[in-house]
Structure 1
Amino acid sequence: MLNSKNSLKLKLLIVLIPGAIIALSLTVLIMLYQAEQQFTHKLDEKRNILGNYTVLFADPLWNYKTEQVEGIVTTMLLDQDISQIKIHDEGGNLVAEESASNHDPESASEFSFPIIYTNAHISQKIGSMTFYLGNQSLQGDKKQFILSGLFSFFLIIICLSLGVWLILSRLMDKPLRALIHAIKSSQDSDSYIRVNHQSNDEFGVISDAFNEMQNSLELHHKNTLKAKEHLQLLYHSTPSLLLSFNHKGIIQDASDYFLQQLGYKREDIIGSDLEQLLQMEKRSAVIDNLLATLWSDQQLTEYPLQLVKAQGEIIDVLMDATLSARDSFPGALAVVTDVTSLNKARAELEHQANTDHLSGISNRYSFQAYLQKLTLDRRESNKPFALLFIDLDHFKLVNDTYGHHTGDQLLRLVSERIQTVLRPDDKIARLGGDEFAVILENLESESTAEQIAQRIIQHLETSFSLCDANIYISASIGLSLYPEDGNNPAELIQYADLAMYRAKDEGRSCIASYSHEHSRLVEERLRIDGLLRRAITDNLLEVHYQPIISLMDKKIIGIEALLRLKDDAGNLISPVEFIPIAEETGLIVAIGEWCIQESCQRLACWQKQMGNELYLSINISPRQFQAKTFYPALETSIVSNGLIPANIMVEITESLLLHNNQNNQNIFAKLNTLGCQIAIDDFGTGYSALSYLMKFPLNVLKIDRSFISEYGEGNLSSGLVAAIIQMSHSMNLKVIAEGVETHEQLKMLQILSKEIGIQGYYFARPMAALELTNSFEKLNQKASML
């Protein structure tokens, strides 16, 4: 029931009354302002009129007629607004003064005007008139004006308020009550009551809109009922397993098709727990997880379950469910799909995908997947297992002799015989062709795997009766171990395969285990590559130096810089091992430039100790020589260390001469122009011809140590060394003999020529810079005794 205190009429009046009060207040302010303006205006008019009276005083005041002046003053005081008049002469002397009985200096307004005497000859100020105006009559007029205005406005407000009240009562009350009645009646019943009110105003529009809404709602309600009936029909007639349940898993409804397919009656499952339909272990936990997932994610997609039919048959299903969007049905609607046949077909396909169709054992795909899982499972424990790679010997001969059909039969029999040897936990697979693989999971030692492999060989050596013939076959078996040989499927299969080929090389019908020798070489190469990549930043490079002695001067004339690489433990790695890797990877460029800078700095220090004639010999590899940064790096090192280019000897190999390209020719030309010496290192081991020696700007030939080590009377090396020395002298090339290690080699070289240099262990081995610095004096003494 509508409370009279909340009626629209009262609310409208509550709105109108403050509005009227505001309007009244504004009107009062306006009327006060207008009354004040009117008062000011009348006062100004009075002042102007009285100001004209100065003319009356001009003549009497000029002629000193005081009595006449006083008479005029008395006459002016008859005006009730004038309360006092004062007349002063030109000197400011009071001539006449008269006040009314009601004169109040505080409230009266004072005005003063000059008295001007004018005749035909002059116009002169002869005095002043001052009068005081009282405002009683003016204030009375002002008050009367305000009161009359307020009374008129207040009367208008009352009339308007009464008019609005009456209009609201007649125009609003009736249609509003009719509208409220229709709304309440529609709420209390399923009927859609219309408003019986017609008018051409807003209430008429509202009533028509309400009636149209009721018509629309009634039509929508009828359509909703039809749709509900249609949905119910679809729900129960669609060939899908439909089910609805609440958040506790209580079944609220099930489609007729669901009941028909599972063989239940409606009263048997409606209101029962969904758990009762499941045939699964821990089904209570399964339902709890299902409900938690559904109410958390708002939906469920292909949730696997097993349902039991009324007759006890178990079916595989997938449940798709979603929560209801309506509060009137706070549950879930599920579509259950029977995938029993699909799962059987999938299992069959999976079996075919993982099984060798010929032998019935696992195929390569299944075997690799199993091996992958096994390596992952044993990654933490590293529990060993073995992989056997079995290849039948001369199987192609069986195929060619008896045909592929017989060959296929033989493969089936071979797989059967191998399985008779294996233990229950072992895994066998046919990889393809005549190749089989076996995983031996539980091993006490490698010998266990070898024993099983040997038994496989023995079992296969027994003849096979096929095509009325006894067919003999043997097998070669390769063995790899986890984790000793490898820790991933690819490595284990590859290494077992390599071992199998070694078994074939050793005569077939035998077992071969994988050897780590090749792997160790690969690992060592990778280790050195890693050291080279961080050699400069981690200070893993050293330069060792070997003196070069002149047989003529019997002193040290040069030093060869020899690059060395250390591992993290400080152990030196042979240049034979790391130089080829540095060449191949291109790292030789960076470490070569480091070696140039380091050895040039050292030469600058040694020249201060040994003299400026001491030269430095630096080995430059072909790849470093051809790099764009080689020559700039060499030139920078020479200049920055204050060296003479002639004291730098660039050692190259004969092979570089064969690469007669424009880039090499440009570098040779630059080195020659700079003034560096160029030496051919290890001369005699390459393929250079005399034409190359004459074509390039060479200065030195270094005879390879292999000729010196075999040097002796009557052998071929003796003649070759003598020929190289003689040829070099004829071409104005200096000669240095490398690898001089014995006194006999030294004496033979001295016999051939004293105009050569020597270096080798006989005189001094390569040593670190500090050691060589401390040994210079001793080594020069030794050289002087040659």
Structure 2
Amino acid sequence: METIYKIIRGPATLRARMGLVISLLILVTTIVVTIALAAQTAQTQITNQKRLVNGLVSLVEPTVKHMLTRGDTSELNNYMNRFITDPAIAGVRITTASGIELYEHVGQQESPSWITYLLTQTRFDRESIKKDIIHAGKVVGRIEVGLSHKPLNDSISTIVINGALVCTVLVIISLLLVYSLLARFTAPLKQLARIAREVSRGNWSPEIKLIDSGSREIQELNQAFRDGSAAMLHYIHSLEETRELLEFSENKLRTLINGMHEILFELDTEGTICFLNPVWKRLTGVSVENTLGRPFREFLTEQDIIKLFSEKFLSQLSVKNREICISTDNGDPIWVTLEASAQYDADGNFTGVIGTLGDITESVELNKLLSKYQDELYNMSVTDPLTGLYNRRHFDTRLEVILSEQLLRKQSVCLMLIDLDGFKFINDTYGHPFGDQVLKTTANTIKHFLGDDGYLARLAGDEFAVILKNKDI
């Protein structure tokens, strides 16, 4: 069956396949019918031959018996030669009871054909009719007549030849009918195939006309193809519009990402950098290509932040507006504001981290400088520029605070006011630079004796004030 299936599948066209199938069916049917007719004819021929030979034996038996009983067989040859002209008889042999041959005639010998042998399932060269000649209850002789194969071979050959001719005629007629009928059936299919090829080449709007076919199935197929083509064309137009919108959105998103002032980054599940926008190179001086594939932790400087970006805690990461310092390959620190969070797919699986780094380096540096200036201004406002001691403004504020604290604690406070005698004489005699040096020396001397236990301030000119906690004069 598999071989037959391969033979049928061999031809490429429908008409060729249908023609092959019908030809095979006609061939098989003709062979079966021919074999049946030949077998029936063979059996009939054998029966007729046997009947003819039996009749011949019955006809000559009385005469042969008479000759045998008289012992005169001189006329036996002439007598028998008159009856052996029939082609159904292959030969005749007459013997006595003791086996002495009295007459033998061997006709034209012809072996059974192979188809005769197959149909009759016997060997006719061994088929013969034997009959004993009995006189007065004794066997006086035997007649043996052999059957000829020629009539049987001729009959079967005629049937086979006629069957082959009939099969050939039927195959030719059926092929003509099949090809003519299928030509009308396959013509619309060829048209649809041509349209399908146009569609496969990218032409989504070929003209599909209604096919004038007598087959309702073909018309339904044509209509379905038209409807499907129209739906496909509409779908393609929708896809084109969607593609244009996606391209527009993609370009817009790319423009927004490239125009961001912050660094946009994406990490995989292991904390490796897999995406960076161009701001990274502008801020760090390192190309995006040389950064992709490196662990994000390499650029962090604070241990607590490095720990957050380890694989152990990465899936729970959520950082909002955290000021951190990152390092680059050239060693320059960059202050940024970090915002990052873990990402998950629809099934709840961790897919990575997306975050931003906003550059605040200038702001941090400016704040440091501003803090420095503020400290300097404060020191200038509360200290004496000559001696470096606290001035009158700071003394008044500090005195009020210390008195309040000591009263609450019920502890003593000692306040000493000190001035230099004859300081005006020193200034007038030795000059103000010398007087300034005297003031500095005096301030350092008092500070040395007080140590860390007291508070010292210069009130004005040569006047100093000392505050001591828990001390008596």
Please give the range of the TM-score, normalised by the shorter of the 2 chains: 0.3 to 0.5
Normalised TM-score (structure 1)? 0.31
Normalised TM-score (structure 2)? 0.47
